[in-house]
Structure 1
Amino acid sequence: MKEREAPDAHFTVDKQNISLWPQEPAPKPDLFPVLRKPLGLRVAFICLSLVLVTSIVLQAVFYPRLMDKILDVKSDAQMLGGRVDNISTLGSVLEKDRGRVEEAEVQMRILNTSLSRVRSQILSLRISMEQASAQISVLTRNWEEVDSLSSKIPELQRDLDKSSTLNAKVRGLQNSLENVNKLLQRQSDILEMMSQGWKYFGGNFYHFSHTPKTWYSAEQTCISRDAHLTSVTSESEQEFLYKSADGFPFWIGLTKAGTEGDWYWVDGTSFNKKQSERFWIPGEPNNIGNNEHCGNVRVSSLQSWNDLSCDNKFPFICKRPYIQTVP
């Protein structure tokens, strides 16, 4: 008879329970196993069975401990994970704290700069205080001198009153001296002009030129001397002119524009027609030939004006206002 192969043994481990069952239904017991199987095969099967049983027993014994270890490892891993999370949170907190520290460093630098400025200001204030102290010392000494002078104030007041009186007299003398200087300067100017052939009357200089010229040429000559042909503004001036002319005819600055024009003074002085009526020779101006547009002094009389043609040649009178020269 052929020997049958030993069936495979199957088992499961459920924590501490061990189950063992054959893959197929167990064969009927052989009445003669010893006779049918070789001895070596039986020994091998027994050893394998012992190894399997031993392994199962060991697993059954050590599995709970292994599971406890695994659970401990899981617990430790969870704890470690929590610590890692705490470390991550702590890292973000550290980052925030690092930013705050950097801001604090910036503020510290700003504060140091402000402290440096404050130290500089304190130093300047200290120097100013020292200077003020020195000035106070000087003022104290000056105040002591003022106290010593206070007793002399009445005497000084009397001297001041005398000085005021003297000053008033000095100012009066100065004013008088200035007036004298002006008068002397005026006389000097008048003498200077008279030495050049000018006559002085009523604040004006008059030059009686005996060189015959037409009226227009005479005016140009006066202009070259910073003057104009004379105007007449008062009876006293008219009297001065005809007496100085001594009966000789002289051009004056009287003219008119055209036949029907009004008379006017060439130096721009306003012509007083009403006042001037008594200075004309009776019957003048008559404008003979419609060509007598310029005036002259013809006779030695208050009524001495005459109108003539401007092309006639006569001596002429230049008039120049007196201007005070600066010494």
Structure 2
Amino acid sequence: MKALESEVPDAHFTVDKQNVSLWPQEPPRKTGPCLGLGRCLTVRAAVVLLTLLLVASVLLQAILYPWFMGTISDIKTSAQLLQGRVDNVSTLRSEIKRNSGGVEAAGVQVQMVNASLDHVHSQIRRLETSVKEADARLQMLTSRWEEVAKLNAQIPELKRDLDKASALNAKVRELQSGLGNISKMLKQQNDILQMISRGWKYFRGNFYYFSLIKKTWYSAQQFCLSRDSHLTSVTSESEQEFLYKMTGGLTYWIGLTKAGSEGEWYWVDDTPFDKVQSTRFWIPGEPNNAENNEHCANIKKSSLQSWNDVSCDNALLFICKRPYVPSEP
């Protein structure tokens, strides 16, 4: 019996530096002799099994406790991270609410941009159509390039022909101009001959009519007006020479008169009166305005100095003058 008691081990071990015992270290009280050897063995086996289970439990606790604690720490960290993300989500939600108006405005702008893009697309389609048309025209022009090259090769020859034609045209124009001048001269000669046949004389672009009857100065001017002319004016020494030679020393009225005794001499056909030049045509001592009644002039002598002033009421021969105007073709 004592041997059996001495064989029972004490269930005593250390966990986390703490002594753990299944029962006090002192041996259990003796309850009496085992009821049999088999029963004692069963009890011991049960005790050993419980001891092993306890040891295993403690070992598992010693192994799993740090892992469990680390897992809990990780869970706390993850929870804190999740809480931070939740806060961030809340912040983002508030920002999304604030920006919702901007998003709507952006949507309107996107619609406008889409409309602009549609317009641009239509423009691009039109441009593509224009490009196709331009390509067709370019192909047509390219097909005609050989013809243009042939024409370019013919340009020098055409230029020579053109130069010849230009020279011929110049000669033709020269001939036409000469013919035109001849035609004008013939026409002018015809006009002059017709006027001469009516009793007019021609001198340097003017016609002169030397009357065969006598009239007062005013009646003579009226007669000239009825023939589309005026009493003659004298504008040069050559014209004065022509007139006095044609008069042959007879007295003829000319278109020089003045208004009253103190008036200035003037030509009745509005030709400007050259007082300085006219001094060479007056007879010396004229005009003298005898009896304050000599207001009209005439040609009296067949010489350069042949003008004389007399009364406008005298009846004299007269000279009408009209410029040459080409007749209508």
Q: Same fold (TM over 0.5)?
A: yes
Separation (CA, whole Å) in 1 of partners of 2:110 and 2:146:
52
Counterparts of 2:108 and 2:219, CA distance in 1: 96
SS at match of 1:177: helix
Partner of 2:207: 205
> Could you report, residue by residue, the CA deviation over 1:100-121 in whole angstroms, capped at 9, with x for unpaired residues?
3442343234223322432332
- Change over 3 Å in CA distance of 1:251–1:100 after alignment to 2: same
Give the Å deviation of 1:160.
3.0
Q: Which amino acid aligns with 1:268?
A: D
Distance 1:178 1:142, change over 3 A: farther
Q: Which residue of 1 aligns with 2:138?
A: 136
CA 1:144 to 1:301, structure 2 compared with 1: closer, same or farther past 3 Å?
Answer: same
Distance in 2 separating the partners of 1:140 and 1:309: 94
CA 1:151–1:93 in 2, change beyond 3 Å: closer, same or farther?
Answer: closer
The DSSP-based 3-state class of the residue aligned with 1:121 is: helix
- For residue 163 of structure 1, what is the aligned residue in structure 2? 165
3-state SS, counterpart of residue 297 of structure 2: strand
Structure 1 residues 100 and 183, CA, compared in 2 at 3 Å: closer, same or farther? farther
* 1:1-327 equivalence runs, <5 A: 93-94=96-97, 96-97=99-100, 99-191=101-193, 193-194=195-196, 197-210=199-212, 212-223=214-225, 226-324=228-326, 327=329
* Deviation digits for residues 47-84 of structure 1 (CA, Å, limit 9, x no counterpart): xxxxxxxxxxxxxxxxxxxxxxxxxxxxxxxxxxxxxx
Taking a change above 3 Å as real, the CA distance of residues 157 and 308 of structure 1, as seen in their structure-2 partners, is: same
- Once residues 328 and 130 of structure 2 are traced to their aligned partners in structure 1, the CA distance between those partners, rounded to angstroms, is 53
1:94-142 superposed Cα distances (whole Å, 9 cap, x missing partner): 4751x33442343234223322432332233223323322332343234
Change (3 A) 1:100 1:191: farther
SS at match of 1:295: strand
Measure how far apart 1:245 and its partner are.
3.6
Shift of 1:220: 4.8
Q: 1:157 to 1:210 in 2, by over 3 A?
A: same
Q: CA deviation at 1:309?
A: 1.0
Deviation at 1:252, TM superposition (A): 0.8
1:296-326 Cα shifts (integer Å, max 9, x gaps): 1234444432211123333432322334567
What SS does the corresponding residue of 1:174 show, helix, strand or coil? helix
The percent identity for this pair of structures is 62
The alignment's C-alpha RMSD in Å is: 3.6
Cα distance in 1 for partners of 2:305, 2:136 equals 88
Paired residues, number:
242
Q: Distance in 2 between matches of 1:272 and 1:138?
A: 77
Change in 2 beyond 3 A, CA 1:177/1:136? farther
AA partner of residue 265 (structure 1): W
Structure 1 gaps of 5+ residues are 1-85
Q: What do residues 204-226 of structure 1 show as CA deviations (whole Å, max 9, x unaligned)?
A: 22234456443344445545655
Q: Residue 100 and residue 187 in structure 1: after superposition, are their counterparts in 2 closer, same or farther (change >3 A)?
A: farther
1:149 partner letter: L
Distance 1:283 1:226 in 2: 34
| Counterparts in 2 of 1:117 and 1:219: CA distance versus 1, 3 Å | farther
User: What is the distance in 2 between the residues matched to 1:119 and 1:313?
Assistant: 102
Per the alignment, in what secondary structure is the counterpart of residue 152 of structure 1? helix
Q: Which moved more, 1:139-148 or 1:264-273?
A: 264-273
Cα distance in 2, alignment partners of residues 222 and 284 from structure 1 = 26
Look up the equivalent residue of 1:152 and give its one-letter code.
Answer: Q
Gap change, CA 1:158 and 1:216, over 3 Å in 2:
same
Q: How much does 1:203 deviate?
A: 1.3
TM-fit CA distance, 1:191: 4.4
Q: TM-score, normalised by structure 1?
A: 0.59
